[in-house]
Chain A
Amino acid sequence: GAGVSQTPSNKVTEKGKYVELRCDPISGHTALYWYRQSLGQGPEFLIYFQGTGAADDSGLPNDRFFAVRPEGSVSTLKIQRTERGDSAVYLCASTPQGGRAGTGELFFGEGSRLTVL
């Protein structure tokens, strides 16, 4: 497919468990963003990668959240010791380098809905 792919689309877990969410960006897009969206709220910035490195991780709420992008393509968001408050839709977006990077044209995936019981 040509779009941003996120897996799983739905994840139900128990409080205290570890969760990984995967994002496969559009081929050739060097910038990758993670956002979190709770019901009735706008997307909340978590972290942004340019290539393999995290250019801005100021949105990660605490040290239970971690994200990697080891080869500059697929990214994994990792959440340790999940809490009920982590329940949300986790959105991944990518954008190509150069003129479009940071211009606001983010291409979003359909999200991973995380429910922590």
Chain B
Amino acid sequence: QKEVEQNSGPLSVPEGAIASLNCTYSDRVSQSFFWYRQYSGKSPELIMSIYSNGDKEDGRFTAQLNKASQYVSLLIRDSQPSDSATYLCAVTRAAGNKLTFGGGTRVLVKP
């Protein structure tokens, strides 16, 4: 079992719709959770971080965390073609520890 699992996709959504991405993790000690966006041929960039159970909203992005279920998700509202990218889920145990990434979900937003 991989430490961080994501559906590889592609997840195809029409422009203006909501894209819903899921991630599960195996290490129960994980404390911090992140979503990175990676455009083709580029390096990952942080878009969301979440540390406690519940929802966290930032613009069109909402991260949701459920530690009991070891599940974290990302919603992208009003999806735009510029959101087409691979979204990487990452987790870490604590400050000063390594980040473990999932395999990423490729999102395609069609005009």
Q: Is A50 in the interface zone, CB < 8 Å from B?
A: yes
Q: Is A1 in the interface zone, CB < 8 Å from B?
A: no
If over half of A's interface residues share one DSSP class (helix, strand or loop), that class is named, otherwise mixed; here it is loop
Query: In the complex, how many angstroms separate the beta carbon of A64 from the nearest chain B beta carbon?
Result: 20
Interface residues of A in 1-46 (CB under 8 A from B): 31, 33, 35, 40-45
* Set B33, B96, B102: member contacting A102, Cβ < 8 A: B96
- With contact pairs A41-B103, A42-B102, A43-B88 given, residues A102 and B97 touching in the complex (Cβ less than 8 Å): yes
Q: How far is A100 from B8 in the complex, measured between Cα atoms in Å?
A: 29
Query: In the complex, how many angstroms separate the beta carbon of A21 from the nearest chain B beta carbon?
Result: 14
Query: In the complex, how many angstroms separate the beta carbon of B79 from the nearest chain A beta carbon?
Result: 22
* Set A91, A103, A105: member contacting B43, Cβ < 8 A: A91
Q: What are the residues of chain B within 8 A of A117 when measuring CB–CB?
A: none
Contacts A/B (CB < 8 Å), 10 sampled: A33-B99, A41-B104, A42-B4, A45-B99, A45-B100, A50-B96, A56-B97, A102-B95, A104-B46, A108-B45
